[in-house]
Every structure is written in C-alpha cells, then in structure tokens.
Amino acid sequence: TLSELMRWYCLNTNTHGCRRIVVSRGRLRRLLWILLTLSAVGLILWQCAELLMNYYSASVSVTVQFQKLPFPAVTICNINPYKYSAMKEYLSELDKETKKALETFYGFSEGKSKVRRSVDEWNSTGNEFFQQIPLLKVEDFSRMATDLHSGQKRKIEGSVFHKDSSIVNSGDSNDIIGFQLCDANNSSDCALYTFSSGVNAIQEWYKLHYMNIMAQIPLETKEKLSYSADDLLLTCFFDGLSCDKRHFTRFHHPLHGNCYTFNSGENGTILSTSTGGSEYGLQVVLYIDEADYNPFLVTSTGAKIIVHDQNEYPFIEDIGTEIETAAATSIGMHFTRSRKLSKPYSDCTETGADIPVENLYNKSYSLQICLHSCFQKAMVQSCGCAQYAQPLPAGAEYCNYKKNPNWMYCYYRLHEKFVKEQLGCQQICKDACSFKEWALTTSIAQWPSTVSEDWMLRVLSWDKGQKLNKKLNKTDLANLMVFYKDLNERFISENPANTLVILLSNFGGQLGLWMSCSVVCVIEIVEVFFIDSLSIVMRRQWQKAKKWWNDRKRGSSGKAPQASDVERQGHDNPVCIDEDLPTFTTALRLPLPQDSPLPRTPPPNYSTLRLETAFTEQLPDTLELGQH
C-alpha cells in the first residue's frame, strides 16, 4: 500500500526523483518484510529463551487430608544430666575450686561471712585446674589482667573475644572476668575470652573442665550415674490407656545423660492415634528431683523434650523445648510433611549419599547431622581428638588433658572458624529434600492446684514410696501432655512447573502468535531451507562436475566450446533489469534484448473466417444497384 501511494503521488506531481523511488518500491517492500520477519524472529527467540531459562522452576502445592496419624517419637531428658550425689567423687576438686573462685570474686561463702580471700591462700591451694586454664580479672580493657591463681598482673597478648555479646559492661570493670587459652606448643599464641557476666564466665569455665572429666569416664559408668526410667517417670497414659517404662527406649546423650524416647519404633511398631485432643495423646508426670541437681552445671529446673520422627536423631541441645516444674505443660501438634525437588530444581539431597561427610549418628540424613559430623571430623583432623558433645568417629577418642593438653585452645579456635563459615561445612552440607515437621503450640498452667496439692502429692508419694522415703514436693514434679490438636495432615510438595509437552506447547504458541506458524509450516521451512538448499547445492556441484568432465573430454578431442551454446535464462536474461518481479503489464513494456531476433506472432488462419454465400446467382436488385 505504501508503494502504491508513492507511485500515485509521483505520477500526479511529476516530482524529481520519483522515478527512482517508484522503481525501488520492490526493494522497500522487501526491506519492510525483512524488518518484520526479523522482529518476529527476535520476539520468538526472546520468548523461547525465557521459557528455557524458567524451565527448571517448580510450583508448590498444599494438600490437606483428614486421616489417622502416626504418633511421633517424644524424647524426654532431665535438664540435670547426672545425679549430683553420684558425681561428687568425680567433681569434688572442680567444685572446690569453683567455690574458691566465687569466694574470691564475690565474697561468696557457704556458711561463712563474705570475706575475700588473699592471694596467699590461693597459692596454698593451687591445683591443676587453675594451672591449665587460669581465671583472669580484666582491668579497664587495658589488656592488663590479674591471674587469680598466682595474683600476678600480666599483659594480655593475642586476641580478645567477648563471648556474651558486643554490649560493653557499663559497671565496674573489675566485674569483667574470663579465661585465657594458649597453644601448648607456642605459649605466645593465646586468646582471652571475656564475659559481661561473672555467672556466664564461671559456668563456661566449669563446663570446659566438666567435659574433660566426663570424657575419661566409661559409658557404662555414666549410664549408672544418670537417671533411670523408674527415677524419671511417675505416671504414663497414651490414648486413654496406661503405659509404663516398657514403652520408652533409653539412649545416652553426652550433655543430658540418660534420655528416654516414647514410641521410638525400635521394636518395629509405631503407635498412631485416630482422635485429636489432650485426652488422646501422651500424658506423663515426671520426677525432677531438684535437690540432686549440680549447682554449677545447670541453673534451671525442669525437663527438656523434643518431638521428632522415629528415624531422626533428637538434638535436645539445639531445638529441645523446656518444661518447668510445678506446672502442667500442654503441647499441641500440627503435622506437616514436605517434599522438595532435587537437582536441578533445588540444591537439596535425597539421602545424603552425595554429601562427602560421614554420618556419625546412624540416623536418617539431616542438615544438623551433617554440620555436627563435619565439625567433629575437622576436630579430629586438627586437634587429634573428638569433642565430647558429639559422637565418636571410628578410631578416635574424646579429648582430655592427659592425652591432649592443647585440645581446649584448638577447640575454641576451630569453633570460631565454624561459626564464621570458614571450615566449609556450611558449603558442603545441604538440606534434605524430604522431611517431617511437627509445629508445636505450648501452653502452661499451674499444677497441682492449691486445693488438690495435698492429696495429689500424698498419692504420688505413696506410688513412689517403695523407692523414695520422703514426701514429694510440687517443685520436684512436672506434668507433660503431648497431643494432636487435629488430625489434618498437611502435605507440601514441589512439582515441575514445566514439562517437555508444556515447553513444546508454549513454543508452538509463540510461533503461532508471531508468525502464524504450525507444525506444517515448520516442516515446510525445514524442507525449503535444508532439503531444497541441499538439493540445489548438490545440483550445482553436479553441474560443475559435469561441465568439468565435458571440458576435459573436449580438451582431449581438440574441440573448443561454441559461444552459441551459452543459454540465457532466469536472472541472467538482460531484459530483467527492473528490481521488481515483472507483471503482465510491465512485461509488455520490457525492451527487447540486443542481438536477439524479434519475436513474431504467426498470423491467424483467416480462411476459417471467410463467409460462403448461400446463393449461386446474384440478386437482381443488387445488380441494379451496382449498375447504378
């Protein structure tokens, strides 16, 4: 249409240069078609690239169904790992030095007046604990500290780490205490760890020596020093039926002693529930025995529980829930199963077999298991021994002063790298693709009530009277209820957002939208651009080969090729001088080629048009008219 308008304008205005424009209208038309085609192809390629880039995307679906649910495993631990009365012989020296440190720092004394002891008294009672890790009193952050064991002031070399927080204590600088860890092979390589609270400093210092002592006690002995199922459990009900210690499985945790798991599934049976509500879950009354707690190791009273799958390891120290004494703790659960797509959709692992970290826990893979196992492996490689709070790798042993005098310094340095993600564990370990989760809702009520306290404590004391010769106190008891709030199982799954069929459908839709193409068009394009082009190339090669062969034959026979043999055809014809394809009208205006005979049209056979008269003689009136 544009070329026709230009042609009409030029013919009516006789403007200079119009002849060139009109003659070039074919070139303009082809240019427009090329631009439109390139734009369409560009849009198609852009859309296809976007489809390919988003091919590995996932859609999330949530399915909720009401059904009978398997009851999870519930692991219960006393916050105090070992009976203090049974551990006194192992901890006597450590407790003695801790009490001396408290008396020196804060004038604390059991049954005596709060008078600070002199340094000479410390020197007379010095022992290996203060020789290994001396407690220091830091003065005014001036890198000057007083060694509470020797009473000497010294300058602190090396790094200073504030373990509590970055908040500077605004009180008396003498309240800032800590301990210094040095490399046993290089006494100048030290690190000072300070705390804004003396309570935290004493506890951290105590735990270091405590782990060193416990690492040297055999496992069988530690199990006897901790709580038995009869000690911990007073009453038990599940789904309205009575249960006992036979439904609990014991496992020993390094930091929490003997823990007991309800519905562990070790015997091949997993309990389930078909009714929601607190009356149809697990109900237990726990005996805490606060009087036998270690006063320096733990500062809270109660128990810790964790709800987990039967194949998962219970990380009590990481995600455990604490329940308090003299209270009824109700924990309602919502069950959710999640399933993520693995590579290339997400960076998760199915079973952990592709993770180059040995699983030390003998349970199904999880991110926490991988991180703890990775740190323990690095601990054994760097320090030559294993950290006490985690399982032992094959062929390794726990760290202690006698065999590994440098282990505390090595452990703190390694843990600092782990927290800063410099060990590479966070880069190696991946999330699990499949996992189960129980969302917990906790509520607390006073238990037992004031009006029922007297008779309940008497009955519970009578139930436990065969092993306990005293009346129970409500601060020694904790009531726990774990139940499903409803039986709605939520299943969250990822599904591929694109498949091969969807990709081809989207690709075909883009072709149809921008180029009106279908499968037939694609086949024709392939035929034109590939099959036909290949046939043309092969034909030209065949003609060249044939011409070469004929020239060779003529050269061998001595004959020269004649010029009249050259045939003019197609675009080689000199009459086709216009860039436009000729139409019937323009073909009549084409000039005749030079050196070419004028085309002649044979005259028609007019004999077929002759009129033969039906009369043999001429009529009289015609004769008269002719004579006249």
What is the Cα–Cα distance from 198 to 107, expressed in whole angstroms?
13
pLDDT (mean) for 256-261: 94
Q: pLDDT tens digit string along 317-356?
A: 888 999 999 999 999 999 999 999 888 888 899 888 889 9
Report helix, strand or coil for 617.
coil
| Sign of the C-alpha dihedral computed for residues 590, 593, 598 and 599 taken in this order | negative
Query: Cα 449 to chain center, whole Å?
Result: 47
Q: 83: pLDDT confidence band, cut at 50, 70 and 90?
A: very high
**Of residues 12 and 513, which shows the higher confidence score?**
513
What is the average pLDDT value for the chain, to the nearest integer? 78
**CATH architecture of the region 63-80+229-346+433-496:** Sandwich (2.60)
Q: Report yes or no: 292 and 85 within 8 Å, Cβ to Cβ.
A: yes
Give me the residue spans of the domains in the chain.
2-57+511-531, 63-80+229-346+433-496, 91-107+129-216, 349-432
**d(C-alpha 343, C-alpha 339), whole Å:** 13
Tokens of 298: 């733990």
What is the C-alpha to C-alpha distance for residues 32 and 572, in angstroms, rounded to an integer?
Answer: 26
419 by DSSP, 3-state: which?
helix
The secondary element (H helix, E strand) that includes residue 569 is: none
3-state secondary structure at position 83: coil
Select the highest-mean-pLDDT range: 92-101, 228-237, 499-508.
228-237
276-290, 547-561, 614-628: range with lowest mean pLDDT? 614-628
Domain 349-432 class, CATH top level: mainly alpha
**Three-state SS at 248:** strand
CB 363 within 8 A of CB 514: no
The confidence score (pLDDT) of residue 203 equals: 86
Cα–Cα distance, 260 to 254 (Å, whole number): 14
Beta bridge partners of 295: none
The residue count of the chain comes to 628
CA 150 – CA 154 distance, rounded (Å) = 11
Residue 13 has pLDDT above 90, yes or no: no
CA–CA dist 424, 418 (Å, integer) = 8
Rg of the chain in Å (alpha carbons): 48
In Å, what is the CA distance from 438 to each residue of 47, 118, 169, 337, 349?
43, 56, 40, 9, 21
Distance separating alpha carbons of residues 368 and 350, to the nearest angstrom: 15
Whole-number pLDDT of residue 41: 76
Q: What are phi and psi of 486, to 5 degrees?
A: -155, 170
Higher pLDDT, 172 or 600: 600
> 């004031």: which residue's tokens?
450
Instruction: Give the per-residue pLDDT at 458.
Output: 85
Mean pLDDT of 359-386: 92
Q: How far apart are CA 511 and CA 344, in angstroms?
A: 28
Question: Smallest Cα–Cα separation from 506: which of 37, 6, 47?
Answer: 47
26 pLDDT band, cuts 50/70/90, is: low
Comparing 110 with 244, the larger pLDDT belongs to 244
pLDDT of residue 603: 61
Amino acid at position 423, single letter: L
**Per-residue pLDDT averaged across 468-477, rounded?**
78
Spatial distance between the Cα atoms of 259 and 281, rounded to a whole number of angstroms:
20
Q: Above pLDDT 90, what percent of the chain?
A: 28
Spell out the residues 6+ positions from residue 358 whose beta carbon is closer than 8 angstroms to its own. Answer: 373, 377, 393
- At residue 171, the pLDDT reads 41
Is there a contact between 361 and 410 (Cβ–Cβ < 8 Å)? no
pLDDT > 90? residue 286 = yes
Is the pTM for the entire model greater than 0.85?
no
